[in-house]
Chain A
């Protein structure tokens, strides 16, 4: 069996159908003007032209999930005695994420360190992650706000990916990355792509060079003094409206909240995404909030990704540079600009930003 496959463009849908025989295949679909991951079905309109508005993170790490259900029961013999019945059901069917971007896949690696590679792995995340095959599509060109190369990624980076597709004339080169990914080369639609691998590599190289690196020194370098200076955050974030768009669209944000929702003695314990942009993040029962302002909360967002996480995980940055938080921010807060300014060095080379003016 060859190491590299080739998937002709006209066979992409057949290929997805083939994968869908024994797994739920999530594919990027066009809905109105947005691209969202949806379980494949014939009526969906596939969109591989641009990254999805929302990353595929919720497929493995749902925005809201029931950890367990519970029911308080009275002992029929002795009504003074109560017992609690717990039911755990981890919903983790065989899944394929098809058409994620390399930055999206890299997000899962950032989660893996937290949820799997620890003494107390998270059974929910772990089971889903293990049951999911990630087939990424490398990017041919950067999209608005992208900066993956600045955080050690690449438009054809393979971290977190099981197999990668790269578009070339007429179709896609399929490069397996893991053993799990190798299996897809056996699918009948996939031809031998060995001789055209170099075309894909050229395209990948070209894409890599086209992505801007916003950081003056190549990699983010945060000055501890500036990081702890309140005026810096007040100046940089006056415009922030404290919504959760940046965090909920982020492939690497993983803060969550746990809530018991019950009616009388019966209910569910729910884990749902939290967002450090919201006032209620870290609001304590005493009503004290250690991060009462948006400035402190945004500092947490930057700190978590560029300071605290790297300290804990051997320098790994918890940002994959997908650019969604920049692209979709209601007020165009640019995290790459903020991190660059935190370096304390020279300003990044200005793009012709907002150069569109009236004559």
Chain B
């Protein structure tokens, strides 16, 4: 799981593709940013570390030529889902997979360091990150500052790849833990849940970062958020309008959301928007025994219609 192995794989793939999508250092020492490598001398700036949280697979459907891409296990589910939905041509994508033991959430690190400017950061190789700010140094366990998805990660090794940079690893997290948070949230009363979402969504500034960063949002420039005819969503900035958008976003992702957590990661207002999508996914699992992005030959349940859905009891009525 080292940067060198990733660089070697990129060098191997590069002659065959237009560009390789990977990560490089961002504006400070705790940010990574996407990097499009199209010549060997650019490989030097490539990084691989727990900073590489962004799901780069989102760029694939807009790529016209054959490209290479570096993916973690979770990101690979996006590619599998794209294959199921016919959104990419697998022949035109060369996948460099990285077995991953967990990434970091910049938001969680910032919280721990009091939102100070970061002077430097380093990983010690044994699961912690040390961040230096003008106020001093702080060492944090990656397990404490990882995105929630890493805590229940089932697929640390990519499910689909052409080259694997490292040795495959298997998940040590119980399968039942994946929707534990949803079950806990479901246990709240309707009033509590309503109050929760009203409070959270009130902060939404309608920047649509959650939508634009979402790998599975496919309506693109015809999103209901902006169409004028029909004018689904008002320009008025009411909670109702924000609700409407987020509900439709979640519903459009029923049985499609690959739970990459990009919507949470990118929200500048720290709204836990992925929770809605995860809830619907939990229902899809329950109703159709379908898990998104794990098998390229699956068909998303909303893409098909079976008269006899075994898990829906009404079919016997």
Known contacts A241-B209, A270-B236; is A249 also within 8 Å of B203 by CB? no
Q: How many residues of A contact B (CB 8 A)?
A: 56
Specify which of B51, B208, B237 is in contact with A243 (CB 8 Å cutoff). Answer: B208
Q: Check: A217 CB closer than 8 A to any chain B CB.
A: no
A80 neighbours in B (Cβ, 8 Å): none
A210 neighbours in B (Cβ, 8 Å): 134
Kindly state the separation between the CA atoms of A239 and B117 in the bound complex, as whole angstroms: 24
Known contacts A244-B209, A245-B207, A270-B236; is A354 also within 8 Å of B58 by CB? no
Q: Check: B114 CB closer than 8 A to any chain A CB.
A: yes
* Contact A54 B54, beta carbon cutoff 8 Å: no
* Contact B268 A53, beta carbon cutoff 8 Å: yes
Binding-face segment, B29-37, B177-185, B304-312: B29-37
* Contact B33 A249, beta carbon cutoff 8 Å: no
Q: What's the minimum C-beta distance from A338 to chain B, rounded to whole angstroms?
A: 11
Residue of A62, A328, A352, A353 ringed by the most chain B CB atoms within 10 A: A353
> What's the dominant secondary structure at chain A's contact region?
loop
One digit per residue, 1 when the CB lies within 8 angstroms of any chain B CB and 0 when it does not, for chain A 238-259 equals: 1101111101110000000101
Q: Check: A300 CB closer than 8 A to any chain B CB.
A: no
* Contact B26 A248, beta carbon cutoff 8 Å: no
B23 neighbours in A (Cβ, 8 Å): 354
Q: What's the minimum C-beta distance from A251 to chain B, rounded to whole angstroms?
A: 13
Kindly state the separation between the CA atoms of A272 and B235 in the bound complex, as whole angstroms: 7
Binding-face segment, B119-127, B143-151, B278-286: B119-127
* Contact A238 B36, beta carbon cutoff 8 Å: yes
Q: Check: A284 CB closer than 8 A to any chain B CB.
A: no
A352 neighbours in B (Cβ, 8 Å): 29, 119-120
Specify which of B111, B134, B268 is in contact with A245 (CB 8 Å cutoff). Answer: B268
Q: Check: A229 CB closer than 8 A to any chain B CB.
A: no
Q: What's the minimum C-beta distance from B37 to chain A, rounded to whole angstroms?
A: 11
* Contact A351 B28, beta carbon cutoff 8 Å: yes
A1 neighbours in B (Cβ, 8 Å): none
Q: Check: A286 CB closer than 8 A to any chain B CB.
A: no
Kindly state the separation between the CA atoms of A244 and B231 in the bound complex, as whole angstroms: 20
Specify which of B34, B114, B121 is in contact with A356 (CB 8 Å cutoff). Answer: B121
Kindly state the separation between the CA atoms of A64 and B228 in the bound complex, as whole angstroms: 16
A238 neighbours in B (Cβ, 8 Å): 34, 36
* Contact B116 A141, beta carbon cutoff 8 Å: yes
Kindly state the separation between the CA atoms of A261 and B49 in the bound complex, as whole angstroms: 49
* Contact B226 A278, beta carbon cutoff 8 Å: yes
* Contact A332 B32, beta carbon cutoff 8 Å: yes
B303 neighbours in A (Cβ, 8 Å): none
Specify which of B47, B121, B203 is in contact with A34 (CB 8 Å cutoff). Answer: B203
Kindly state the separation between the CA atoms of A247 and B212 in the bound complex, as whole angstroms: 14
Known contacts A239-B34, A354-B51; is A257 also within 8 Å of B24 by CB? no
* Contact B236 A243, beta carbon cutoff 8 Å: no
Q: Check: B211 CB closer than 8 A to any chain A CB.
A: yes
Q: What's the minimum C-beta distance from A70 to chain B, rounded to whole angstroms?
A: 15
Q: Check: B270 CB closer than 8 A to any chain A CB.
A: yes
Q: Check: B72 CB closer than 8 A to any chain A CB.
A: no
* Contact A261 B29, beta carbon cutoff 8 Å: no
Q: Check: B107 CB closer than 8 A to any chain A CB.
A: yes
* Minimum-distance CB pairs A-B, first 8: A354-B25, A330-B266, A328-B268, A332-B26, A332-B33, A356-B121, A243-B212, A243-B209
